Amino acid sequence: MIIFPAIDIKDETCVRLYKGAMESAEKVAESYLDTALAFKQAGSTWIHMVDLNGACEGVRRNTHIFTDVAEHAGLKVEVGGGIRTMEDVAFYLERGIARVVIGSAAVKNPAFVREACSRYGDRIAVGIDARNGLVATEGWVETSEVSYLTLAKEMEQAGVKTIIFTDIDRDGTLTGPNLEQLTALNEAVSCDVVVSGGIRNIDDIRALRDAGLYGAICGRSIYNGTLSLPEAIALCEA
């Protein structure tokens, strides 16, 4: 299992949210690049980055931060937030970003996902963010009537190889991941499933690894010190 340490960017600042609420944004680091380099030193190969302004506004923001990390940190960078068009996808993938995450547009424009997967293959991931099992969009402000499992199956049909599943009600809470939902998702599709939301400590990492998940995104647990990044990476590589 791959550990993806996370940096969320709002107004060019490294923040974490609580249950997806933008007004809960809390600064967690002074320098995005120093933070990324520390993740690299801890043994990370990937970093998960989110453009929170982009997610809410529906357009790319903070782009120089993500390309800067891709150029200087020695990590494979995965970016989500505000990616709505093929131009957005190409912008990032042509500037050293390893993988882009399509979120809201996957619900509203599945043809876009199919085109992106056709052109870029496994460099496209889809982020499925759910509240009570229903997909939320537009920076988690809107909740749809679409089940996360229904959308996951549609995305698999569209050619998506990686799904990033966030349980919004657990995001930033350190209350543990929703293993029941994650197991159901992992069994419903052949895609690689990356989990985000609620991870607290090494026991959660062990449970996710044993459940056969492809990856785990860790943010607040690293910043708050409840999870040792080197220990988590070592466990997943053992």
The secondary structure of residue 121, as a DSSP letter, is G
Q: Which domains does the chain have, with CATH numbers?
A: 2-237 (3.20.20.70)
Q: How wide is the angle at C-alpha 106 spanned by C-alphas 90 and 78, nearest 5°?
A: 50
* Residue 118 CB neighbour total at 10 angstroms: 11
User: Residue 143: pLDDT above 80?
Assistant: no
User: Residue 217: pLDDT above 60?
Assistant: yes
Q: What pTM was computed for the model?
A: 0.95
User: Residue 140: pLDDT above 70?
Assistant: no
Out of 8, 88, 167, 204, the active site residue is 8
- How confident is the model over 176-195, as a mean pLDDT? 97
Beta-sheet pairing, 21-29 with 13-18: antiparallel
Whether 34 is catalytic: no
Confidence of residue 185 (pLDDT cuts 50, 70, 90): very high
Q: How wide is the angle at C-alpha 229 spanned by C-alphas 123 and 166, nearest 5°?
A: 50
Whether 167 is catalytic: no
- How confident is the model over 54-59, as a mean pLDDT? 92
The packing angle between helices 179-188 and 202-210, to 10°, is: 30
Out of 51, 88, 129, 171, the active site residue is 129
User: Residue 136: pLDDT above 90?
Assistant: no
User: Residue 84: pLDDT above 70?
Assistant: yes
Mean per-residue pLDDT of the chain: 95
Confidence of residue 238 (pLDDT cuts 50, 70, 90): confident
